[in-house]
């Protein structure tokens, strides 16, 4: 079981990092002037990070976390709250994908505030998950 915890924590860290990186990169890309070389490569880079890095880490983190509480037979109110926070993180992940599509279609209106909001909500949910896991009762 320790290897499962290590896998879960490692993939969760990578997913959380990408959930903070993607909105930041979206904000930079949205402010870039049209015609620059960065503007051409940024949407492709964002799509690559989203599809090949963030999403696989998210899936492995969620699957290993699910397997962890099934194997360890964890139950409790803290777990329900943690799963609600993780569901919110999944929603932030999906919103990052939607914002990347908006950037690719050159619909930059409200992209910066939306990205900032996604980053703030994701960071708050990550903090909530951390607090819930660290404050859970030991059996």
Query: Among residues 67, 38, 57, 40, which one has the least CA distance to residue 96?
Result: 57
Distant-in-sequence, close-in-space partners of 113: CB < 8 Å, separation ≥ 6 = none
- The pTM assigned to this predicted structure is 0.87
Q: Which pLDDT score is estimated for 35? A: 60
Other residues' Cβ atoms within 10 Å of the Cβ of residue 54: 23
Write out pLDDT tens, residues 1-51.
789 999 999 999 999 999 999 999 999 988 876 665 555 578 889 999 999
Write out pLDDT tens, residues 50-70.
999 999 999 999 999 999 888
Query: Among residues 76, 74, 88, which one has the least CA distance to residue 127?
Result: 88
């Amino acid at each position: 079981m320790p290897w499962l915890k290590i896998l879960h924590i490692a993939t969760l860290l990578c997913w959380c990092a990408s959930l903070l990186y993607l909105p930041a990169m979206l904000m930079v890309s949205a402010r870039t002037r049209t015609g620059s070389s960065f503007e051409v490569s940024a949407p492709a880079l964002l799509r690559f990070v989203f599809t090949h890095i963030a999403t696989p880490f998210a899936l492995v983190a969620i699957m290993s976390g699910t397997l962890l509480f099934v194997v360890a037979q964890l139950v409790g109110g803290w777990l329900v709250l943690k799963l609600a926070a993780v569901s919110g993180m999944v929603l932030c992940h999906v919103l990052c994908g939607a914002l990347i599509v908006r950037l690719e279609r050159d619909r930059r209106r409200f992209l910066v505030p939306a990205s900032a909001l996604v980053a703030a909500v994701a960071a708050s949910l990550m903090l909530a998950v951390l607090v819930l896991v660290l404050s859970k009762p030991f059996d």
